[in-house]
């Protein structure tokens, strides 16, 4: 099974861990009483679902997101409840994974069109004439 199928079917859900803490997000007085902020934790190198090549790929692509222990942490505190923030964090996680595994299309070299070349040459000619008009002749 390829990685995009794993992401689409959310196969990594059993390996996700969640921690709750007090949020600074919306909720009014509720913020001070209830732990609504969710931190999603995923141990990349301890994953039994990811293959070794996928782990190495994540290690290179998400190097700035993985800490020294090999964990990815994602916070969510946009919503007012734990369950909503849990859903948001899971969506962020899978979006990050799909972006990491999506290959960027190589840039194809192109040539400028005739109209662009003519515009550039016309601009150069007008700039040159403008500078020549500035010169003072001492004849």
pTM: 0.69
Instruction: Give me the residues of the chain with pLDDT under 70, please.
Output: 25-28, 30-32, 136-139
At 74-92, the pLDDT tens digits run 999 888 888 999 999 999 9
Q: What is the dihedral of CA 5, 11, 12, 14, to 10 degrees?
A: 180
State the Cα angle at 18 between 15 and 19, rounded to 5°: 150
């Amino acid at each position: 099974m390829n990685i995009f199928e794993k992401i689409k079917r959310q196969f990594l859900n059993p390996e996700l861990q969640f921690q709750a803490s007090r949020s600074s997000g919306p909720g009014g007085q509720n913020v001070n009483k209830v732990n609504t902020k969710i931190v999603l934790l995923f141990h990349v190198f301890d994953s039994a679902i990811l293959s070794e090549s996928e782990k190495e790929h994540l290690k290179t692509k998400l190097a700035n997101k993985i800490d020294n222990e090999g964990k990815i942490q994602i916070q969510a505190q946009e919503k007012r409840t734990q369950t909503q923030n849990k859903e948001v964090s899971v969506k962020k996680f899978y979006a990050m994974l799909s972006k990491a595994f999506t290959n960027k299309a190589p840039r194809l070299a192109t040539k400028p069109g005739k109209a662009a070349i003519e515009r550039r040459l016309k601009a150069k000619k007008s700039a040159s004439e403008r500078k020549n008009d500035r010169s003072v002749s001492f004849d």
